[in-house]
Structure 1
Amino acid sequence: MPVPPGERPRLTVPTRDGPILVEGPVEVVLNDGTTVTSDRFMVAVCACRRSRTYPWCDTSHRRRARE
C-alpha cells in the first residue's frame, strides 16, 4: 500500500532475538481475522510468539530458551 501524499511511512525496527518495534498507533490483524489496536507512540510486536499478551511483546523471549 503506497504512503499517502504528505505522510511519511511508519518506522519499524526489528530487534535481534526480540520484538519488532513499530511506530504507533497500530492495528494488527491476527490469524483468526480479529483486529487488535494500540494507540501508544511505539509498540513492541512479538516476533517469537512466546508472549502471553500476543501480539504485544511481554519480554517472554528473555526468559525462555529458543527451541
Structure 2
Amino acid sequence: MSKTKLTINRNGSLKIEGDFEIVDQDGNVYGLQGREALGLCRCGLSANKPFCDGSHRNGFEHDAKAFDLPPMKTK
C-alpha cells in the first residue's frame, strides 16, 4: 500500500494522492472512479464540495507554509 500524501496548495485546494478513500459523516463512500489523486476544497466556495472546482481563484488566499505543531497534551 502506498503512503497517502496531502499537499496544502498555496491559495488553493488540498491535493490528496495515493491509496485513500473518502467517506461522508455517515460512513458512505464517495465513488472516486479509480482516481489516485484529486483536490479537496478548503475555501468553501466550490459547488462540488468536498471536491475542488477551482472557485478559489476568485479571491481565496492562504500562503501555506509548514510548521511544527505543539506537543500533544497528556492527561
- Answer whether TM exceeds 0.5 for this pair: yes
Runs of 4+ with deviation above 6 angstroms? none
Q: Select which of 22, 26, 30 maps to 1:28.
A: 22
Please report the RMSD computed on the Cα atoms of aligned residues, expressed in angstroms: 2.2
**Deviation of 1:21 (Å):** 0.5
Amino-acid identity (%): 27
Q: Counting strand residues as a fraction of each chain, which structure ranks higher?
A: 1
Match of 1:51 in 2: 46
Contact 1:46-1:56 at 8 Å conserved across structures = yes
Larger radius of gyration: 2
Listed as ranges, the gaps of 5+ residues in structure 1 are 1-6
How many equivalent residue pairs?
Answer: 59
TM-score (norm 1): 0.66
TM-score (norm 2): 0.60
Listed as ranges, the gaps of 5+ residues in structure 2 are 62-75
Q: Which has the higher contact order (CA 8 A, sep 6+)?
A: 2
